[in-house]
Chain A
Amino acid sequence: MFFTLLKKELFVEFRSREVTLSMLVFGLSIILTFAFSSNVSPVIIANYAPGMFWIMVLFVAVIGVHRSFSYEKEFDAFSMLISAPIDRGFIFLSKWISGFIFLTIMEVLIIIPFFKFLMIDFPSQPWVAMGTTLLINCAIMAIASLVSGIAMRARLSEVLLPILLFPLVSPVIIAATKISGSIMAGDPYIFWQIWLLIVLTVIVIFGLVGYTLFDFITEE
């Protein structure tokens, strides 16, 4: 049933392209703003680049996850899912994994403009950078999917989503910045392993909490 739900998420997005398109436009706008508004040396930019990147990813993730849940409200489509005789935890998993896929696609599309426009060198360990980025995406979307599920049924969901999400996701963004900064600087794994453990812990905790609680939080 999980694959049916995941296929639905991907198919609905393939039809409308609303989530990825809005994420991409926002991400590119932020890169251009960073590139043309700052006039400092590439060394300073390189120091701040990981933080800038992950803050951009956070905002892009919020846009994506909000859109992903708001189309469930149109024509009360979410009722089809939650009244069906399925484990509602699978709805959370499908939202989480599809959000992860959309966020990763968006990053693939904006990573080259990000490095080129900000004139930063590519990391010397690209596979490590890619692997950690995928894990961080997974952690961000686990929190975002759970919080969006909670906020969706609230009256002021647009306001509630960032209020609940930003404090919860802050440790992941800090860890992501530290990990990316260390990889860019060529630091050995021992220097940033604690931050990676934080990211892994978030994935496990929010993955389990989301799967378990989605049965209750989806009801009006």
Chain B
Amino acid sequence: MLSVSNISKSFDRRTILKNVSFTLNEGETVVIMGKNGAGKSTLLRILARIMACDKGEIFFLNNDLLKGSPSVRRKLLYLGHAPAMYTTLSAIENLKLALTLRGTPMDISRIQDQLKYFGLSAQSDDPISIYSQGMLQRLKLAYAELADWDLLLIDEPFSGLDTEGIELVETALHRWKELGKSIIMVLHSLSRAEEFGDRILHIQNGLIE
């Protein structure tokens, strides 16, 4: 499904990633671990084409992700640290916009159903600037549930969540795995990595070990 070959990235002459290569099979969940600043989030942002790499190749569903047309990214969903949504818009407006941009516009009733499931129905019309960290994480999960994707790139999905929120993430991850979806996830907890990951990749000194 995904083939990453010799990806390198430097910031201010400091090498973050050195010839990183790995593959991901369909339905597989890979967990990326490493110390702070190791390059885990950088790797995810390169895969989502938010960040440019210095060299290397990425093939997604047999298409060149770096040089191919934008439609190559259609089945790829990135959920980073930040919500990647507009602070002045409400949860419904943000989700409606994000889904339309992905080419899958959706009825408001379906969006409201998902927001209700993730405990956000009461604040669904409020601007997301007033949301707490946990609420923003739930909003991202609602987005992942609504979007049509084959590969999810998700950065620390458990951060900032209360017990109920953690259960929601765990349930969602188990369901996506059962549905045979592919996931690349950045985690800090080894126990969670072992629970959800089919494989664990450690990034250290810019290399995958």
CB–CB B80/A79 < 8 A? yes
Interface positions of A from 44 to 81, Cβ below 8 Å from B: 71, 74-81
Residue in B50, B70, B73 whose beta carbon sits within 8 Å of that of A219 in the complex: B50
Q: How far is the CA of A120 from the CA of B74 in the complex (A)?
A: 56
CB–CB B70/A220 < 8 A? no
- Tell me if A116 counts as interface (CB < 8 A to partner B): no
CB–CB A79/B84 < 8 A? yes
CB–CB A71/B72 < 8 A? no
Residue in A1, A15, A75 whose beta carbon sits within 8 Å of that of B82 in the complex: A75
- How many of chain B's residues have a CB under 8 angstroms from any CB in A? 35
- How many of chain A's residues have a CB under 8 angstroms from any CB in B? 27
Beta-carbon contacts of A1-21 to B below 8 Å, as 1s and 0s? 100110010011001100000
CB–CB A83/B87 < 8 A? no
- Tell me if A85 counts as interface (CB < 8 A to partner B): yes
Nearest residue in B to A8 (C-beta to C-beta)? B97
Q: How far is the CA of A12 from the CA of B98 in the complex (A)?
A: 14
Beta-carbon contacts of B34-52 to A below 8 Å, as 1s and 0s? 0000000000010011111
Closest-CB distance, A74 to chain B (whole angstroms): 5
Chain B residues whose C-beta falls within 8 Å of the C-beta of A95 in the assembled complex? none
- Tell me if B171 counts as interface (CB < 8 A to partner A): no
Chain B residues whose C-beta falls within 8 Å of the C-beta of A76 in the assembled complex? 80-84
Supposing A75-B82, A82-B49, A83-B49 touch, asked if A4 and B87 sit within 8 A by C-beta, the answer is: no
CB–CB B49/A75 < 8 A? no
Nearest residue in B to A1 (C-beta to C-beta)? B101
Residue in A4, A77, A87, A219 whose beta carbon sits within 8 Å of that of B86 in the complex: A77
* Top 5 closest pairs, chain A to chain B, by CB: A76-B82, A84-B101, A79-B84, A219-B52, A85-B74
Which B residues form the contact surface with A (CB < 8 A)? 45, 48-52, 70-74, 76, 78, 80-89, 93-94, 97-98, 100-103, 127-129, 136
Which A residues form the contact surface with B (CB < 8 A)? 1, 4-5, 8, 11-12, 15-16, 71, 74-88, 216, 219-220
